[in-house]
Structure 1
Amino acid sequence: MKKVAALACLALFTSACGGGTAEAPSGRPVAGGTFTYAIPADPGVLDPATGVLSVTNSVLAFAYDTLVSSGKDGKLVSGLAEKWEVKPDAVTFTLRKDVICSDGAKLTAADVAQNVNHIADPATKSPIYGVLVPEGMKATADDAAGTVTLSTPKPFSFILESSLSLFIVCGKAVKDRSLIARATSGSGPYVLKEAMPGDHYTFGLRKEYAWGPGGATAKDLPDKVVLKVVPNEQTAANLLIAGSINGATFYGADRTRLEATPGLGKMTPMAGNGQFFYHQGDDRPGQDPAVRKALTQAVNLKELAGIASSGTGRPATGLVLEPRPCKGDTVSGHVPAFDAAAAAAGLDAAGWKAGPDGVRVKDGKRLTLRYLYGTTRGAGVQAAAEYLANAWKGVGAEVKLNGVLDTKMAESLNATQDWDVAWLPIGVTLPSQLVGFLSGPAAPKGANFAHLKNARYTELVGQAALKTGAEGCKLWEQSESALFASADLVPVTELTVLVATKNAVFEILAGLIKPTTIRLTQGG
């Protein structure tokens, strides 16, 4: 199922999918020059309609604009649209008149509409449909008026905010997407000049760029951007210290080394939520809410948070990352509290009795938990897996750890379904982006990979989707809390990463570099 793959990619590769806005310490600005940034993997196909990996979106952000953007304070500012009118089931954008695509074509309202309709077309099989483009959304254009209207079949609470992450293709590639498999065709400040898969991607500045977020222009931007593929963090750290690159993102052991290195700019944006899901399919232990509650009570989540994040995380406050529209804490007071004795008693009451070897048995079946996790998220995730295994063994469960490469996580979650508990970080900025994964048809027929059946959640999100503002947020927040109270998934920590820089400053929004804020410096 494409959407399950989208979730796995969004979740597992979202070091660039959360975190708010941050800025590195500054030095004296330097005009022109080359900004070089290390990316951890090749971005693959560069069509925004297929962009679910954070590394892909990190590359796309240099070449493509969005209809609206977000300022440092989280408020919406202009992008390709200079103004907008919002209704419960539609938003109409009035486009700027001076926007030119990198191939020289003028951006039209029809171009914008085609972007949305292309993603929504079932034949496209876009993995971001239902995630970045709400299900059922359609677009209509009025080129004479310079307006495009995005509408949904019924009121949708985040109809405006959903456009924040939608990169707009323009020019010839609107009709021929094959042109942007290894090239770009957008209105952004840079255009891809050279693509060397597995090695580097070089972008050139568009001097004419004058329609950026909030009125940003090409003035003072670097003349060239090189995104260098550096899979090894130690190598990236060495290159940064030596001044061979201007920045990189760090998850693992080298983070500590760089945090202690003088002369570097340092930011710690959000990188996703660390949490685990219980599989609630037929004949799974997690199908029983009493078992889910007991297994959750068996874990000291505060200790687990420190282990999973290697001491760099923050207390979990919800499923949605900054800049999120609803700011409330949905976690506190809603997750079953740590109580090993209550956990054991709960399993006893649920009919799971200790066998001769200490493993609990019910109806002749052992309490076996197959724990699935990604192996490339750092040592903390591996240590967290071992911690959970010990905690659950302590209350009589047999635990089998199954570490897989992140690129195999979608297959393991959906196709094989060979898991009982899965550690799956999530990084989205709208609660509506998760509904298809947390309710509805179960995998493999639907995107509900954990087979969740929380009637209260379904009821609340159905109400929330029809509301806007504070009223809608209250319902969205209650829906998340309903998941936690039922131990459908267990929030553990809000993960962070280190973005270290040298001789450059820039801002980060939703985990992505804002290209219009990059400035090369001396002594920065």
Structure 2
Amino acid sequence: MRTPFAAGLAALALLAAGCGGTGAEGGPAGGGTFTYALPADPGVLDPAMGVLNVTNTTLSLAYDTLVSVDAEGKIVPALAQKWDVEPDKVTFTMRKDAVCSDGSPVTPSDVAASVDHITDPATKSSIYGVLVPTGMKAEADDAAGTVTLSMPEPFSFILETGRAIFVVCGKGVKDRSLLARSTSGSGAYQLTEAVPGDHYTFKVRREYAWGRPGSSIKEAPETVVLKIVPNEQTAANLLVAGSLNGITLYGPDRARVEAAPGVTKAVTPVANGQFFYHQGDDRPTRDPAVRKALTQAIDLKELAGIASSGTGKPPTGLVLYPRPCQGDTVTGHVPAHDPAAAAAALDAAGWKAGPDGVRVKDGKRLTLRYLYATTRGAGVQAAAEYLATAWGKIGAEVKLNGAIDTKLSESLNATQDWDVVWLPIGVTLPSQLVGFLSGPGAPKGANFAHLANKRYQSLVAEASKVPAAEGCDKWLQAESALFEDADLVPVVETNVLEAAKGATYEMLAGMFTTTSIRLTQGG
């Protein structure tokens, strides 16, 4: 994988986004301003660099994709009205009525240029190899109105990739530098003001008529403002007071917001909380017996409640909703809680208790450096302390290392100074995980935990050669193979509260369904 490691890791950990929306009583009212809180600045707005969730939320107002997805995970038309799928390529027939924000038509060549820019080594795109698979090529036929995306070999999710590519059109195709703080897309809204660190203002395009089938922009707000509000408590206060129309909450302010008058809400899955074991040559967790023993020492149900502050659900897989492959890959595939068996397994593996209770093998103490992001909230900190206590009871010495996201990425890649890491995953296709769960280990590759699960690799190789629907069973088995070997341990499906006041809206995989945004009567 050629994606820079830090960017790829950000995609793995920070593209965490659920799908769902808010509902409200009262009829729609056109015009007005819809204000939504972002927890951080979206940064550079070039879609080729859109690796963070906040960036893609922002871009979804101004850009369209070739296809979209409904709440059940079914692919539906967007810029492409139909498609023909083969094992190694997909040909999209484009709509003819889509118009860019500068008035120019959206063409197949625009799509090809967007893909070519992402895959160009000089671009150093953050999404290449993650959202856009390595080796993808694009060929446009403007006369026929088609664009073909192809891969060097069969690729299961060749069609689904079309929902991950924001198509740049118009002036932005010729001068990508314009996209740092402006937009050049065919979406329902156009960016009119960017004040980094404070707000981003978008104006509606009333001519927009090429969105999801059956949708309409006629009653949508005239203006959308994305307000940067890093503090959740502040965001909650602003929503309750009516200064914001929409927020996403992870933490303890959820309860009071849910109880506030006039607030409508939806609980939305956002990511999977889990931890990985480092399997480098010098790590005690390279031994599967050690990994399984450490996993058996943990009451995962209790840990899930701690990590999510009681709001999470039992995990059923690694991929976010709406999943292309339905099924539970977790239940029955994770070593069960049994501290006595864990201790016996460590004895059998040669790890004997030392004078201070810490196990030793070949003169080396069973020391685990546990890495986690301090930006993930109090639950993740409490989960780290719980793990340290539980592993201490079976003879492991645990050293906790909390770090901000950028330092966590550096530790995972450059210094490799960790044995266990808590890392949330937020992807929408199982293929987006392959480079992180197999292949060259960091720092040469994106396989930060140095996983080498042969069964996973074999099943992925088989699944990748057939269309998604045919390969789903093997994709699901591949996930289970990781859990059975305790390469990573799924703990909890975390969720967020999408809360609205005076408005309704829908989000899918962290992106606005722009035609769903409405201000409600009396809001």
- TM-score per shorter chain, which class? over 0.9
Q: CA deviation at 1:45?
A: 0.3
Q: How does 1:164-243 map to 2 (within 5 A)?
A: 164-243=163-242
Whether the 8 Å CA contact 1:2–1:127 is kept in 2: the answer is yes
Q: Judge which range, 25-34 or 209-218, deviates more.
A: 209-218
Structure 1 residue aligned with 2:402: 403
* 1:14 aligns to 2:15 (yes or no): yes
Q: TM-score, normalised by structure 2?
A: 0.98
**Distance in 1 between the 2:350 and 2:454 partners?**
25
Deviation sequence 1:318-367 (CA, Å, 0-9, x none)? 11111111111111111000000011011111111111111111111111
Residue 2 of structure 1 and its aligned partner are, at CA, apart by 4.0
CA drift at 1:99: 1.1
Deviation at 1:416, TM superposition (A): 1.6
Identity of aligned residues (%): 70
- SS of residue matched to 1:220: coil
In structure 2, the residue corresponding to 1:123 is in which secondary structure?
Answer: helix
Mapped to 1, the partners of 2:23 and 2:421 lie a distance apart of 35
Quote the offset at 1:44 in angstroms: 0.5
**For residue 424 of structure 2, what is the aligned residue in structure 1?**
425
Q: Name the CA distance, whole Å, in 2 between partners of 1:412 and 1:298.
A: 26
Structure 1 position 516, deviation (Å) = 1.4
Taking a change above 3 Å as real, the CA distance of residues 22 and 225 of structure 1, as seen in their structure-2 partners, is closer
Q: Deviations over 1:469-520 (max 9, x none)?
A: 4430011011001100000000011110111100000112113221111000
**8 Å contact from structure 1 (residues 251, 377) kept in 2:** no
Compute the displacement of 1:77 (Å). 1.5
After TM superposition, list the pairs within 5 Å mapping 1:24-423 onto structure 2.
24-423=23-422
| Farther off after superposition, 67-76 or 350-359 | 67-76
Alpha-carbon shift at residue 228 of structure 1 (Å)? 0.4
Post-superposition Cα deviations, 1:350-408, rounded to whole Å, max 9, x if no partner, equal 11111111111111111111111111111111111111111100111111111111233
Partner Cα separation in structure 2 for residue 22 and residue 196 of structure 1: 27
* Partner secondary structure for residue 376 of structure 2: coil
Q: Is the 8 A contact 1:352 1:362 kept in 2?
A: yes
| Cα distance in 2 for residues equivalent to 1:463 and 1:26 | 49
* Structure 2 counterpart SS, 1:36: strand
2:255 aligns to what SS in structure 1?
Answer: helix
**1:438 partner letter:** L
Aligned partner of residue 418 in structure 2, secondary structure:
coil
Residues 118-142 of structure 1, C-alpha deviations (whole Å, 9 max, x = no match): 1112222112111111111100000
Q: Do the aligned partners of 1:312 and 1:496 also contact (CA within 8 Å) in 2?
A: yes
Could you tell me whether the CA contact under 8 Å between 2:22 and 2:499 is conserved in 1? Answer: no
Q: Conserved in 2, the CA contact under 8 Å of 1:8 and 1:409?
A: no
Contact 2:11 2:130 in 1 (8 A): no
TM value normalised by structure 1: 0.97
Distance in 1 (CA, whole Å) between partners of 2:140 and 2:517 is 33
Give the whole-Å Cα distance in 2 for the aligned partners of 1:348 and 1:304. Answer: 25
* Letter matched to residue 7 of structure 2: A
Q: Report the count of equivalent residues.
A: 522
1:38 aligned partner, one-letter code:
A
Determine the C-alpha separation between the residues in 2 that align with 1:2 and 1:43.
20
Q: CA RMSD in A?
A: 1.3
Secondary structure in 2 aligned to 1:272? strand
Whole-angstrom CA distance in 1 between matches of 2:310 and 2:461: 37
Q: Output the CA distance in 2 between the equivalents of 1:119 and 1:276.
A: 31
Partners of 1:298 and 1:175 lie apart in 2 by 57
Partner Cα separation in structure 1 for residue 189 and residue 385 of structure 2: 45
Aligned to 1:248, the other structure's residue is in SS state strand
Conserved in 2, the CA contact under 8 Å of 1:298 and 1:339?
Answer: yes
**Residues 329 and 477 of structure 2 are in contact (CA less than 8 Å); yes or no, is this contact kept in structure 1?**
yes
State the SS of the aligned residue for 1:506: strand
- Segment of structure 1 superposing worse, 4-13 or 221-230: 4-13
How far does residue 71 in structure 1 lie from its aligned partner after superposition?
A: 2.0
Gap regions ≥5 residues in structure 1 = none
